[in-house]
C-alpha cells in the first residue's frame, strides 16, 4: 500500500514500498493524482509489468 504525504510546499508525495521491489516515489500537485498513480503502479507491480520498478534480486 502506498503512503501519501503532503510536503511543506503543498505538493503530495506518493511512496510505495513493497517486499521484493525497490522503493518507488513520485511527487504530484494534487492528492487525487498521487492516489491514481499509486493505485496504477501497485497494480502493475502485482501483475509484474511495472515500468516504474523491477523486482529486486
Q: Report the distance separating Cα 6 and Cα 45, nearest Å.
A: 24
Cell 504530484 belongs to which residue?
28
How do residues 1-57 score in pLDDT, each as one tens digit? 899 999 999 999 999 998 888 999 999 999 999 999 999 999 998 888 766 656 655
pLDDT score, position 23: 93
Q: Which helix (H) or strand (E) holds 49?
A: none
Contacts of residue 13, Cβ cutoff 8 Å, sequence gap at least 6: 4, 5, 6, 7, 25, 26, 27, 28, 34
pLDDT score, position 51: 63
Amino acid at each position: 500500500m502506498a503512503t501519501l504525504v503532503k510536503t511543506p510546499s503543498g505538493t503530495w508525495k506518493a511512496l510505495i514500498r513493497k517486499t521484493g521491489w525497490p522503493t518507488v516515489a513520485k511527487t504530484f500537485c494534487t492528492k487525487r493524482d498521487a492516489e491514481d498513480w499509486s493505485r496504477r503502479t501497485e497494480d502493475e507491480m502485482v501483475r509484474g509489468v511495472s515500468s516504474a520498478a523491477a523486482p529486486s534480486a
